Copies of this chain bind each other. A is one copy, B any other.
Amino acid sequence: MISHGAEKWLGEVQKVLNDGEIELVDYQGTEEQMVGIARISHGKIFPHTDPPAAQKLINYFMENHHTSPFEFCDLTWRWRLPIFVARQVVRHRTASINEKSARYAELDANLYIPEPDRVLGQDTKNRQGSSGALPEDVQNAFVLELIALEERSKSLYHAHLERGIAKELARVSLPVGVYTDWVWKMDLHNLFHFLGLRLDPHAQYEVRVYAEAMYRVLKDAYPMCCWAFEEYKLFARTFSRSEVSMLRFVTPDLHNPGYGEDHPTAKRIISKLALPE
């Protein structure tokens, strides 16, 4: 099945970071087909051609964790990315990955070098993030040192290869900021889960840019799914049991005319707050 929104991105290389790339290589599944598959209860697959009805169904699946329809869309991407980013991404175990082997192939050993204004300080509240500006000279010095490191580590690596040292061993000296290449496939359900984590402002900037590039493609290829994803996942908020208890007390206005049980959104909030434990 052809998704016109996906087709136009095939082979379009998006540049990210100083030497990164991401490109849609292939895909399976369209929103029409997904809705048809979800309606297998009728015994046949009838692709759904009525957009408002399709959007309503997709919303229902997304809100109610009916994840299987989304699993029938798959996307395959080529990435060029720094090793430390690859190390974060590979933790998502539902991907299929074929990566360039540094045992078999010589790496070009290009290094990730941030833009000076992306060189941030340690976040003092969120102990695993970065935040706040650093003095410009600190930023510039960091960049210059990485540029020097790239040259040094390339020449060390090549010297070792020239002396006959096995590639699998020579690469030990390369920085984790060096770029690698891989092909990476994930179904749309797991991709939304991935994006929910990696589009988050707390995700490391260097992985977030890849997530943003993928999301640009998804918005063309699966626009109804993206709408539902934003509504029910990305921009939804979860409140804990204690927070729900307090929300019950501070929202009497929901019952006022104007909101009230007649307003569908108010009605849904009221009913969620009233759910028994």
Residues of chain A whose beta carbon lies under 8 Å from any beta carbon of chain B: 1, 25-29, 33, 37-38, 40-45, 63, 65, 68-69, 71-72, 74, 76, 78, 80, 82-84, 86-87, 90-91, 93-94, 96-105, 108, 111-112, 114, 119-123, 127-131, 134, 138, 141-142, 145-146, 149, 153, 156, 160-161, 163-169, 171-178, 181-183, 185, 187, 197, 201, 204, 230-232, 234-244, 246-247, 250-251, 253-254, 259, 265-266, 268-269, 272-273, 275-277
Bound form: Cα–Cα A49–B55 in Å: 41
Query: A265 with B236: in contact, given A37-B183, A43-B181 (CB under 8 Å)?
Result: no
Oligomeric state, in copies: 4
A148 CB to nearest B CB, Å: 10
Query: A238 with B237: in contact, given A120-B169, A168-B128, A246-B265 (CB under 8 Å)?
Result: yes
Which among A45, A141, A168 has the greatest number of chain B C-beta atoms within 10 A? A168
Query: A45 with B72: in contact, given A40-B99, A236-B238, A241-B231 (CB under 8 Å)?
Result: no
A254 CB to nearest B CB, Å: 5
Query: A251 with B241: in contact, given A130-B166, A168-B130 (CB under 8 Å)?
Result: no
A185 surroundings in chain B (CB, below 8 A): 71-72
Does A98 lie within 8 Å of B37, measured CB to CB? yes
Does B101 lie within 8 Å of A41, measured CB to CB? yes
Does B240 lie within 8 Å of A239, measured CB to CB? no
A137 CB to nearest B CB, Å: 9
Does B26 lie within 8 Å of A33, measured CB to CB? yes
Bound form: Cα–Cα A187–B76 in Å: 13
A99 surroundings in chain B (CB, below 8 A): 40
Instruction: From the candidates B86, B119, B236, name the one contacting A165 in the complex (CB within 8 A).
Output: B119
Given pairs A119-B165, A121-B165, 16 additional interface contacts (CB within 8 A): A40-B98, A41-B104, A43-B100, A44-B78, A72-B76, A72-B98, A138-B163, A149-B173, A172-B175, A172-B177, A174-B176, A239-B239, A239-B269, A239-B272, A246-B254, A250-B254
A22 CB to nearest B CB, Å: 13
When C-beta atoms are compared, the residue in chain B nearest to A139 turns out to be B165
When C-beta atoms are compared, the residue in chain B nearest to A193 turns out to be B65
